[in-house]
Structures are given as structure tokens and as C-alpha cells.
Amino acid sequence: MAPRHCPKITDCKLHRSIGMTAALRVWQSFYCEGCFSRCERFKLASTGIPVPERLLPNGRLLDASATPEAGQRSERAA
Ligand code: SF4
């Protein structure tokens, strides 16, 4: 029987890119707890290719200004 959750769930850094808990839960619900074989992060990680931190499960790149780190940078600059 195939695993229900993504086998990369303990190593994946998706939570570092998605600052909003609600948004993260949407990604996790669809991909991490279901269709992980369709996740672009999973596909790269499964072949040993480093996963870009800003890569979203659907293959799009998260806007750099929307990452939690960017928010911290702008808070420090203020
Ligand atoms: S984002 Fe992709 S690789 Fe990461 S835990 Fe979820 S399904 Fe797995």
C-alpha cells in the first residue's frame, strides 16, 4: 500500500518559505498529505537535486518579497 503522507515531510523546508500558517496548511493538505507524487519539490528531492527554497509544490517560485525572511529583513531595516 502506498504511503499517504509524503516521505520527504520531515526533511522538506516548505514551511521556511511559507510564512502564513493558513497558506501552508493548504499546500500541506493537498500535496504533503495527499498528492505528493505531483509535488515539484518532491520530484527534485527524490532525484537528489537540491530543492530551491522558494520552489512551491506546483512548480512556481514564491515571490522573494513574500518569504518570511524578507519580512524579517524589512522589519530590521525599519
Ligand atoms: S512540499 Fe512536497 S516534498 Fe515537501 S513535504 Fe510536501 S509533498 Fe513532500
Q: Tell me the domain boundaries of the chain.
A: 14-77
CA atoms lying within 13 Å on the CB side of residue 35: 8
Q: Which three cell numbers stand for residue 1?
A: 500500500
62/67 Cα distance (integer angstroms): 7
pTM of the model as a whole? 0.77
Amino acid 16: pLDDT: 87
16/2 Cα distance (integer angstroms): 27
pLDDT by 10s per residue, the chain, length 78: 667 899 999 999 998 888 789 899 999 999 999 999 999 999 999 999 999 999 999 999 988 666 555 545 444 444
What distances in angstroms separate CA 3 from CA 16, 38, 49, one per listed residue? 24, 14, 22
Q: Give bridge partners of residue 61 from the DSSP assignment.
A: 55
Which atom of ligand 1 sits closest to the CA of residue 12? 4
Please give all residues whose beta carbon lies within 6 A of any atom in ligand 1, as ranges: 6, 8-9, 12, 14, 31-32, 36, 39, 41-42, 45, 57
Pocket test for ligand 1, best of 8, 25, 53 (most atoms within 8 A of CB): 8
